[in-house]
Amino acid sequence: MNESAKKASEIRRETLLENLNKRFTGDGFASSLRLGELTLVVPRERIVEVAGELRDNEAFQFEQLIDICGVDYSQYGRSEWTTDTASFTGFGRGVGAMQGSSAEMQRFAVVYHLLSVSLNQRLRVRVFVDDQHPMVDSVSGIWNSAGWYEREAFDLFGILFAGHQDLRRILTDYGFIGHPFRKEFPLHGQVEMRYDMDRQRVVYEPVTIELRTLVPKVIREDNRYAEGSNKPQDPADA
């Protein structure tokens, strides 16, 4: 991207941020521009109203919903590359400059990614939902594509979408228990599923996968790093 295109993109983002701040004010609303990306936080009870405004208002014209996903903030900002318990919690997250912590925010959020083809601009919309009973109104009446994405967020995070016409699991098995993208869900899962030829049906069995550390390990195939090697460690010393 040349300098003129970069400048035009920056102007569009700043103009969009200004319009968002003018149009959406009050408790629960917040907009920010960070690392070249715009985010609008919306109160849960007003998501349908705001979605319609973002689609129809001449200043926004977000005709396309690109994606909807859930987020579990239960471990957000708690550690930097903590690897002692990696077998149980997965990768450390290396988050040197996190904004806020899990104690300062609600656990679950729904994130919407919007695109305006007409104005060549993008927006992230975030809605926090209740921890115990995560639910938000469906925006499938605003964007048809929301139906599939909301089913995915329901399946993986257990977030309910009120008003959805067919809220069923979409990725996991029909008899699946739990929501695999929640942070407390074990990395190795709860049960294993296979087709039993003798019974002529699918059967569920206890997990047989052996837990292992998921921290990346660098293996250098170089005899300079082998134990007991008498060769110099620095090529410049050779």
pLDDT band at 94 (very low <50, low <70, confident <90, very high): very low
pLDDT band at 213 (very low <50, low <70, confident <90, very high): low
Average pLDDT over residues 11-39: 93
- Beta-strand ranges (E) seen in the chain are 30-34, 37-41, 64-72, 108-116, 121-129, 135-137, 160-162, 191-196, 201-206
Task: Judge whether 198 lies within some domain.
Answer: no
Average pLDDT over residues 201-207: 86
Asked if 183 and 75 count as a contact pair (C-beta separation under 8 A), the reply is: yes
pLDDT band at 21 (very low <50, low <70, confident <90, very high): very high
pLDDT value of residue 185: 87
Lowest mean pLDDT of 9-23, 76-90, 135-149, name the range: 76-90
Q: Which residue has the tokens 């007991």?
A: 228
Task: Judge whether 16 lies within some domain.
Answer: yes
Task: Judge whether 81 lies within some domain.
Answer: yes
pLDDT value of residue 141: 95
The CA distances from residue 152 to 52, 122, 131, 170, 220, in Å, are 22, 22, 18, 6, 40
pLDDT band at 199 (very low <50, low <70, confident <90, very high): very high
Task: Judge whether 221 lies within some domain.
Answer: no
Q: Phi and psi for 71 in degrees, rounded to 5?
A: -135, 135
Average pLDDT over residues 226-233: 54
pTM of the model: 0.76
Buried b (16+ CB within 10 A) or exposed e, 57-83: eeebbbeebeebbbbbbebbbeeeeee
Lowest mean pLDDT of 51-60, 139-148, 161-170, 225-234, name the range: 225-234
Task: Judge whether 23 lies within some domain.
Answer: yes
Q: Which two tokens stand for residue 223?
A: 């005899």
Task: Judge whether 208 lies within some domain.
Answer: no
Domain that includes residue 161, residue range: 3-191
Asked if 123 and 67 count as a contact pair (C-beta separation under 8 A), the reply is: no
DSSP assignment, residue 91? S
CATH number for the domain spanning 62: value is 3.30.460.80
**Three-class SS state of 18:** helix
pLDDT value of residue 186: 83
Q: What share of the chain is helix, strand, coil (3-state, %, to 5)?
A: 25, 25, 50
pLDDT value of residue 188: 79
Higher pLDDT, 216 or 94: 216
Closest CA to 10 of 99, 113, 120: 120
Cβ neighbourhood burial of 159 (10 Å; 0-12, 13-18, 19+): buried
Q: Where do the H-state alpha helices sit in the chain? A: 3-23, 47-56, 86-89, 146-157
pLDDT value of residue 205: 87
Task: Judge whether 51 lies within some domain.
Answer: yes
**Three-class SS state of 180:** coil
Task: Assess whether pLDDT exceeds 80 at residue 81.
Answer: no
pLDDT band at 221 (very low <50, low <70, confident <90, very high): low
Pairing of β 64-72 and β 37-41: unpaired
Q: Provide the number of structural domains found in the chain.
A: 1
What is the pLDDT of the chain when averaged over all its residues? 83
Lowest mean pLDDT of 63-67, 127-131, 144-148, 225-229, name the range: 225-229
CA-based radius of gyration for the chain? 24
Task: Assess whether pLDDT exceeds 80 at residue 217.
Answer: no
Task: Judge whether 160 lies within some domain.
Answer: yes
pLDDT value of residue 171: 93
